[in-house]
A and B are shown apart, each in its own frame.
Chain A
Amino acid sequence: MSAQGLSGPGLRLDRLPQRRRVNHLMEALAWLAAAIGVAILGVVVWSVASKGWSELNLDLLTKSPIQFSLTNAPQGLSNAFAGTLVIVGLATAMALPVGILVAVYLNEFAPPPIRTGVGLVIDVLAGVPAIVVGIFVFVLLVVGHGQSAIKGAFALAILMLPFVARTTMEVLALVPNALREASLGLGVPHWRTTLSIVLPRAAGGIVTGTVLAVARVAGETAPLLFTSSIVGTQTSWNPTHALQTIPVAIFELSESPDPKDHARAWAAGFILLLFILFASLTARWLATRSARKIAGR
C-alpha cells in the first residue's frame, strides 16, 4: 500500500504555509459538510419524532380505522398493529431456520469454492430491491389465488434470509475450532457436535442477526403492497387472510387529504421507528455480549 504524493518533493518545507492553508481549508470543508449533514439529518429526525410524539394517543392501538367516516368517531390503526405482529412474526419463523441451516451448511460442510460461491449469491440476494421481491411473490403465489398474511410473510422472509444467513455464518466461524475438534475427538457425531455444541455457542450472534433482520423488514412496504394490501378494517389475527400492516397503512394515509389521517400516520410511524431503533440497540448490545461469550471471556 503505497502512500501517494508523500514522497520528498510533495512535502517541501518551503511550501509549508501553503500546505497549512490547504489543510485548514479542507478541515473547514469537512466541518461544513458535517454541519450540513447533521443539520439535515437532525431536521428529518426531529420533525418525524416531534410530529409523531405529538399525535400519539391510545386510540391508535385500540380502535379500528373507519373508512370515509362522516362523523368524527374515534378511530385508530389496531388492525395494522396486529397484522404487523403476525406478518413479521411469521416471516421470522420462516427465515430463521432456513438462514441457520444455510449458514451451517456453508460453514460446517461446504468445500471452500461452494462457500464463496453461495456466499456471493446470498450477498447478491441481499441487494434485490424489495419491490422486485414483491413482484416475484405476487407472480409466484398471489395471481389466481389471492392475498394472505402468510404470502406477505414469505416475501419479508426472502428479504430477511441474507441477513440471518450472513450473520450466522460469521458467528459460526468465530466459534473456536478447538471446540469442534474436542467434541469430535470424544466421539460425538458431527451432526450432534454442530447442533448441541457449535450452534448454542453461536446463539447470541444468531439472535443478533435475527433482530437486525427484523428491524430491517418491520418497515418494508413494497412487498406487502402486492401480497397483503386488500384488507378489512376489523382487527384480525388470522394469517390466511390479508392483514393490514403499519407501513402499508402509513403509505395509504400519507396520500390522503385529511389532516387527521396524517396525524395517525405520524403517530404510527413514530411507534414503528421507536421499535426499529430499539431493535437495533438491542442487537448491538447482544452483539457485544455474545462476542465476549464466544471468545470465552
Chain B
Amino acid sequence: MSAADVTAPPTRRPFTGRRVRFGDVALQVVAGAAALGATVLVGLIVWKLVDGSHLAISKYGLGFVTRVAWNPVIGHELYGAGSFLFGTVITSFLALLVATPIAIGIALFLTELAPRAIQAPVTALVETLAAVPSVLIGLWGILVLGPVLRTDIEPWLHSGLGWIPLFGPPSSAGASIFTAIVVLAIMILPIVSSISRELFLGVPPELKEGALALGTTRWETVRGVVFPYARGGVAAALILGLGRAMGEAIAVTQVIGGGVGIHWNIFGTGDTLGSKVAESYQGASTNLQSASLIYLGLVLLVLSLGANIAAQVIVRRVARRHGVTRGGHA
C-alpha cells in the first residue's frame, strides 16, 4: 500500500443517475443524526447552564463575574464569582509557570540528551503519572504533600522569600492555594511534557542536521531550529495544560481549603471555580445559591472553551504550515 492511496479523502459521489438504495440513505441519516447530536451537545451544554443559572444572571448580570463576595446567609445573600475566578487564574497560571520549564526540560532531555537506556523508563514514568486519576493525586495531596508543605516547605519559603507578598505567613493546615498549585503542576506536567516530546521528535532531521553542519552547538540547534519549528505546537500544549488545570475540580477541592476573598498569600486558603462547585453544589440551600453555583460553572465553561478553542486554532494553523492535513493523513 503506497502513501498515495492514503492521502486523498474518499471522493464524494453524487447519486444522480443511480438508484438510491435505502441502506445508503438509512446509514447516512443515522450517522448524520449522530454527528448532529454530537455537534449540538456542546451548544446544549452551554444552553442548559445558562438556563440553570438564569436566576443569578438576571439578578446579578455580568457584575457577578468580578464581584468578590460569597455570603450564603439567608436574608443577606450575595454571590459573586470574583474570588473563585481569581483562584482559578492564579492556581492555573502559577501551576503552568512551575510545570512548563520542567516539562520542556524533560522533553528536551528525552529527545536530545538522554542515553538510550534512560529514555524508556523516564518516558514510562511520565506516562504513568498521566494515568493517575485526579482523585488519587488529591488523596496523595491531603495525606502526603499537605503535611510536608505545612511543616517544612512553606516555613522555609516564607523565611527566605517572605518579602514577596506571594509568600506570606505559612498556613497552619496542609490545605492551601500553594498545595493546589503543586498538585495542579504535577497533573499538567505529563501532558505538556508528552506533547512537547512528540513535537521535538517531529522536527525534520534535515533541519537539525543542516544546522549542525553549519557548526552550531546543540543548544543553538535547539534554540534556532527545534524551538521555532515546535513553537506553535508547544504553545498549544501549554494552552491545553492550562485548560486542564482550570477545569480540575476534584483534586483542587481536596487540597485547597475552601476560602473566599482575594489575597496574594498563596499559603492561605482559597477556592477555584471548579472546586467551589464541587464542594457546594449538592447542598445549595436556596434557588439563588444553586443558580449562582451554576453561573460559576458557566464562567468556568467559557474560560475552558476559550482556552481549548485557542489551542485547536493554533494546532490547525501549525499543521497547515507544516504541510500536514487534518485527519491523520501525512
Contact = CB atoms under 8 A, between A and B. Distances in A.
B49 interface: yes
Interface stretch (B61-69, B130-138, B154-162): B130-138
Interface in A245-275: 247, 250-251, 254-255, 262, 265-266, 269, 272-273
14 contacts: A6-B224, A41-B189, A44-B137, A47-B140, A101-B30, A104-B31, A125-B42, A127-B243, A127-B308, A128-B247, A135-B281, A136-B48, A173-B328, A254-B138
Instruction: Among A30, A33, A262, find the residue whose CB has the most chain B CB atoms closer than 10 A.
Output: A30
A192 B13 CA distance: 15
Contacts of A138: 281
B42 A128 contact: yes
Interface in A23-38: 23, 26-27, 29-34, 36-38
A33 B102 contact: yes
A175 to B, nearest CB: 9
A169 B105 contact: no
B51 interface: yes
B278 A37 contact: no
Contacts of A265: 139
B224 A34 contact: no
Given A36-B102, A131-B247, A247 B122 contact: no
Interface of B: 1, 5-6, 8-10, 12-13, 21, 23-24, 26-28, 30-35, 37-39, 41-42, 44-45, 48-49, 51-52, 101-106, 108-110, 112-114, 122, 125-129, 131-140, 142-144, 186, 189-190, 193, 207, 210-211, 214-220, 222-225, 228-229, 240, 243, 246-250, 254, 274, 277-278, 281-282, 294, 297, 300-301, 304-305, 307-309, 311-312, 316, 326-329
Contacts of B132: 44-45, 48, 219, 273, 276
A138 B311 CA distance: 28
Given A11-B214, A176-B5, A251-B135, A129 B274 contact: yes
B135 A219 contact: yes
A3 B224 contact: yes
A195 B27 contact: yes
A59 interface: no
Contacts of B104: 33
B34 A31 contact: no
B247 A129 contact: yes
A156 interface: no
Contact of A132 (B112, B126, B222, B301): B301
A272 B37 contact: no
A246 to B, nearest CB: 9
Contacts of A197: none
Nearest to B5: A176
Given A5-B223, A125-B41, A131-B277, A191 B23 contact: yes
Q: Is the interface of A mostly helix, strand, loop or mixed?
A: helix
A245 to B, nearest CB: 10
Contact of B5 (A19, A26, A178, A266): A178
A47 B223 CA distance: 36
A287 interface: no
Nearest to A278: B131
Contact of A129 (B1, B52, B210, B304): B304
B31 A173 contact: no
A189 B23 contact: yes
Contacts of A108: 10, 31
Interface of A: 1-6, 10-11, 13, 19-20, 22-23, 26-27, 29-34, 36-38, 40-42, 44-45, 47-48, 98, 101-102, 104-112, 115-116, 118-133, 135-136, 138-140, 158, 161, 165, 169-171, 173-174, 176-178, 180, 184, 189-192, 194-195, 215, 218-222, 225-226, 229, 247, 250-251, 254-255, 262, 265-266, 269, 272-273, 276-277, 280, 295-296
Contacts of B240: 127
A42 B102 CA distance: 14
Contact of A169 (B10, B300, B328): B328
B15 to A, nearest CB: 9
A30 B108 contact: yes
Nearest to A251: B135
Given A3-B224, A133-B45, A219-B134, 14 more contacts: A4-B223, A11-B220, A20-B217, A34-B113, A44-B129, A48-B136, A48-B140, A124-B42, A127-B247, A127-B311, A130-B247, A195-B27, A222-B278, A247-B135
A-B CB proximity, top 7 nearest: A33-B105, A219-B133, A129-B247, A127-B308, A105-B31, A101-B34, A34-B109
A273 B41 contact: no
A131 B140 CA distance: 21
A48 to B, nearest CB: 6
Nearest to A5: B224
B5 A101 contact: no
Contacts of A27: 113, 218-219
